Amino acid sequence: MLLNPLQKDALTELVNVYVGYAASLLSEMVGLRILLSVPRVELIPEAEMEQGDLPLPEIFSPGHIVSSYISFGQDFRGKAFLVFPVQQAKLLVNACIGEELLLEEGDAVPPRFLDTDFDVLKEISNLILNAVIGEFGNLLETRVVFTVPEVELIDVTESDKRFFLKDGVYILILHTTFTVAEIEVQGVIMIALNLNSVSCLLNKIDTLLEEQDV
């Protein structure tokens, strides 16, 4: 159940509206102009990822990442992750709180995270993931219930980098670009969905495409 070109274009347009809404909320929260875009969307069967047939995004190269996630349920059900390489996460936090961070090119030592950094990341992910998943719920005209976000600093290795993909049959990958105070930060939103949720989403997109042709 991969996306055809029309479905991918329609989903990308919808997602960019959703993240644009999330960015405006985040801008209000931190008092800075924040741009957030999703230039690329992929829907990948988890089984193919597990078998190594399809690669994960480049940010999952061995090294440190920061992953923040929520679970959501009822008719639209799954788990959503906001994931950054550790240096990018620190850049985003410092940009949002008005502090400068200078990183050495190729620096293998992860920056030091304070408890307050994790609190900021938790607030960012809570706002963005709730906004995006909530908009999917509105699209499908169904209520969505969220858990409180959790944040983890993870040392990714080749053997364990797929550990978080056990929560759905399909993985919707939204490649994201944050721009905060002229600082660009790359990350991904990954949404693990069960078969029923994916079917409902694609059926709705097909309905929207049919309505455009009328």
CATH number at residue 166: 3.40.1550.10
- 132, amino acid identity: V
Query: What's the pTM value of the predicted model, to 2 decimals?
Result: 0.85
User: Which residue range(s) make up the domain with 201?
Assistant: 5-213
Residue 53 predicted with pLDDT over 60: no
Tokens 């600082």 map to which residue?
Answer: 183
- Closest to 69 in 3D by CA, of 84, 79, 58: 79
CB 211 within 8 Å of CB 203: no
pLDDT of residue 57: 59
Number of domains, the chain? 1
CB 193 within 8 Å of CB 168: yes
pLDDT in tens, 176-190: 888 887 788 888 899
Distances (CA, A) of 120 to 3, 97, 151: 34, 9, 10
pLDDT in tens, 76-111: 899 999 988 888 888 888 888 877 655 544 455 567
Helix (H, G, I), strand (E, B) or coil at 192: strand
